[in-house]
Amino acid sequence: MKTILPAIRLSVVLMLICGIVYPMVTTAAAQLLFPAEANGSLITQNEKVIGSSLLAQEVKSPAMFQPRASNASYDPTASAGSNRAVASEEYVGEMKDKIAQLRQENPALQQIPADLVTGSGSGLDPDLSPEAAKAQIPRISQATGLREQQLVELVEAHVQGRQLGIFGEPRVNVTALNLALTAELN
């Protein structure tokens, strides 16, 4: 009994601290310091949530920029990579199919940036390289009637640099880019 009561008291105190106090303090701090990020980096349009800047969304229109391929069918509850070895016949065949489809959709495409045919590790990467976004410009120009130079300027206006100037690669958020494209069309 001498050891059971202190153990129970300690367990209750730790449950209160770790299960209630700590989560409340961290949630309050996040809401105070980084409210947009704490709420999922949501993108709204006309006071309606249309997505998150952290997750790719499926785009089927040839008049819009296409995101990276998703092995999770763009379902955030099913985040997954392909887990295929790059030397496997299945992976090579899949890449050939994706390249053929991409060339069919983008006949003017000479060089194919890797991120247009490969999925990300999570299957939900919202960003493309600037080169991958620019590779889609001829198709979008033809579908929308916008000048290619106008679309190049739109892409360049949405390029995000390296984080803190050294981490990562320059990137373009496809959802933000498509919102700007939609605004340009209207």
pLDDT tens-digit readout, 120-179:
878 788 999 999 999 999 999 999 999 999 999 999 999 999 989 899 999 999 999 999
Range of the domain at 116: 41-185
Structural tokens at position 114 = 């890797």
Q: What is the dihedral of CA 65, 70, 72, 74, to 10 degrees?
A: -10
Among 86-95, 100-109, 135-144, which range has the highest average pLDDT? 135-144
Sign of CA dihedral 18, 20, 25, 31: positive
Say if residue 25 is in the same domain as residue 64. no
Say if residue 14 is in the same domain as residue 89. no
Say if residue 111 is in the same domain as residue 141. yes
CB 71 within 8 Å of CB 118: no
Say if residue 27 is in the same domain as residue 75. no
| Alpha-carbon span 186 to 180, nearest angstrom | 10
For residue 84, pLDDT over 80 is answered with: no
Say if residue 130 is in the same domain as residue 141. yes
pLDDT computed for residue 180 by the predictor = 93
The total of structural domains in the chain comes to 2
Say if residue 69 is in the same domain as residue 1. no
pLDDT computed for residue 50 by the predictor = 84
Structural tokens at position 12 = 């209750």
Say if residue 75 is in the same domain as residue 11. no
| Alpha-carbon span 36 to 171, nearest angstrom | 20
pLDDT computed for residue 144 by the predictor = 94
Say if residue 76 is in the same domain as residue 31. no
Say if residue 52 is in the same domain as residue 137. yes
HSE of 86 in the Cβ direction (CA atoms, 13 Å)? 4
Average the pLDDT over each of 2-6, 86-90, 136-140 and give the range with the smallest value: 86-90
Say if residue 113 is in the same domain as residue 26. no
Percent of the chain at pLDDT exceeding 90: 52
Structural tokens at position 133 = 């976004």
Name the burial class of residue 20, with classes exposed (0-12), middle (13-18) and buried (19+) by CB atoms within 10 angstroms of its CB.
Answer: exposed
| Alpha-carbon span 145 to 174, nearest angstrom | 20
How many other CB atoms sit within 10 Å of the CB of residue 142? 15
| Alpha-carbon span 165 to 159, nearest angstrom | 13
For residue 13, pLDDT over 90 is answered with: yes
Say if residue 11 is in the same domain as residue 95. no
Say if residue 139 is in the same domain as residue 50. yes
